[in-house]
Amino acid sequence: MRTNKTFTPRPSDIDRAWWVVDAEGVPLGRLASEVAQILRGKHKPTFAPHMDMGDFVIIVNAEKVAVTGSKAEQKLYHRHSGFPGGLRTQTFEQMRETFPERIIEQAVRGMLPKNRLGRKMLGKLKVHAGPDHPHAPQKPQPLEFDIRKVVS
């Protein structure tokens, strides 16, 4: 009887590219799912689910990401300090004003594996609120998705 072997690429086979994504007017969930696939490396023919094969992704204009419907007023973000009574809640609009990078980071984090491999993949995500980023020496390529932009 023959069994299938798991394909394991060598560390020398992993080549990481740098991509830059403009989040202006793009729906949050669609952006996060596409970025999560790039971070995992599912777009490569050498994808292995047990290894970090993904690329680096730079997201600019995080403060201009779009949400549909009335999510801007109704979507809530929770965090807890660990102390009794330490639950803090913010709406999407409040979060956009104070920490626009966290909106995209949390959305992408929810679409990655919930283990140390997912945490390693999340380290390759660089989110910036404005149009400028300090990663020009890496020569990132623009990444275009087939995502319909929301007019808001």
- 82 in a domain, yes or no? yes
* Segments of the chain scoring below 70 in pLDDT: 148-152
- 5 in a domain, yes or no? no
- 29 in a domain, yes or no? yes
What residue numbers bound the domain in which 131 lies? 16-142
Determine the pLDDT at residue 106: 97
- 4 in a domain, yes or no? no
Q: What angle do CA 109, 94, 145 make, to 5 degrees?
A: 45
- 151 in a domain, yes or no? no
Determine the pLDDT at residue 15: 92
Determine the pLDDT at residue 4: 79
- 150 in a domain, yes or no? no
CB–CB of 71/92 below 8 Å? Answer: yes
CA 73 to chain centre: 22
> How buried is 97 (Cβ within 10 angstroms: 0-12 exposed, 13-18 middle, 19+ buried)?
exposed
Positive/negative CA dihedral, 24, 26, 29, 32 = negative
Task: List the CATH number of the domain containing 92.
Answer: 3.90.1180.10
Dihedral Cα 106, 9, 140, 60, nearest 10 deg: -10
78/111 Cα distance (integer angstroms): 18
Determine the pLDDT at residue 151: 59
- 26 in a domain, yes or no? yes
Within 10 angstroms of residue 136's Cβ, the number of other Cβ atoms is 11
Dihedral Cα 122, 32, 64, 92, nearest 10 deg: -90
Q: How do residues 130-148 score in pLDDT, each as one tens digit?
A: 999 999 999 999 998 777 6
Q: How many domains does the chain have?
A: 1
- 38 in a domain, yes or no? yes
